[in-house]
Chain A
Amino acid sequence: KQEVTQIPAALSVPEGENLVLNCSFTDSAIYNLQWFRQDPGKGLTSLLLIQSSQREQTSGRLNASLDKSSGRSTLYIAASQPGDSATYLCAVIGGATNKLIFGTGTLLAVQP
């Protein structure tokens, strides 16, 4: 059974710092990996999707990498801002389905 883990569960950094969020999964036979952010009381916003054939994806200050063989993905946020404060979730699709398996998230606080 696929399990997705995100470490750390919470992270606090000063504004301007570069940071890395980690996501690991137990079954390397995934098809896609998707990163989301969730603001308190809100829905999920899709940030990046990495297909299994890709190594990384970039969007603005965000860069996500994928290493299927080691079962790991990282989300790199450059020059963090207070507006980046949110919970970040990663999710994988494994097997011949469209079902996302979610990690429990990293709560990020960027201090001004």
Chain B
Amino acid sequence: DAGITQSPRHKVTETGTPVTLRCHQTENHRYMYWYRQDPGHGLRLIHYSYGVKDTDKGEVSDGYSVSRSKTEDFLLTLESATSSQTSVYFCAISESSLSRNGLAGDNEQFFGPGTRLTVL
């Protein structure tokens, strides 16, 4: 299994409080991703990173920010948590990307164990 850990694994917080989730990898992979998983919506990409200090938005980025100061760590921050952000959050990593001419690379993604967040 890929060396991916997430912390905390469970968290209960109140509306309006800031929350930071951490993803740590030991694989030295370049790409890191944050997803959320909700019943009826499946998995949706929040933000991703393609290198240290290089990040971009995903499908559901409103209300979230990310930071990546080291290759191994990718932080997801909810500046002011809302009940709609109650979810299970997954971090993923991958090594290669699509080549510049658009040909497919490997890009197999590996997932962490998840963080269950409840916002009351």
Contacts and interface: CB of A to CB of B under 8 A. Distances in A.
Nearest to B97: A98
Interface string B50-75: 10000000110000000000000000
Contacts of A51: 104, 106
Contact of B104 (A32, A45, A100, A105): A32
Contact of A102 (B43, B94, B98, B106): B43
Contact of B98 (A31, A43, A105): A31
A67 B62 CA distance: 35
Interface string A74-112: 000000000000000101010011111011110000000
A59 interface: no
B112 A102 contact: no
A98 B113 contact: no
A32 B105 CA distance: 8
Interface string B63-91: 00000000000000000000000000010
Contact of B113 (A42, A89, A96): A42
A40 to B, nearest CB: 11
Contacts of A97: 98
Contacts, number: 68
Nearest to A4: B42
A34 interface: yes
B26 interface: no
Given A104-B42, A105-B42, A98 B102 contact: no
Nearest to B112: A43
B48 A99 contact: yes
Contacts of A99: 45, 48, 58-59
Given A32-B104, A46-B110, A98 B94 contact: yes
Contacts of B111: 36, 43-46
Interface of A: 31-32, 34, 36, 42-46, 49, 51-53, 89, 91, 93, 96-100, 102-105
14 contacts: A31-B98, A31-B104, A43-B113, A43-B114, A51-B104, A51-B106, A89-B43, A91-B43, A98-B94, A98-B97, A100-B33, A102-B43, A103-B42, A105-B42
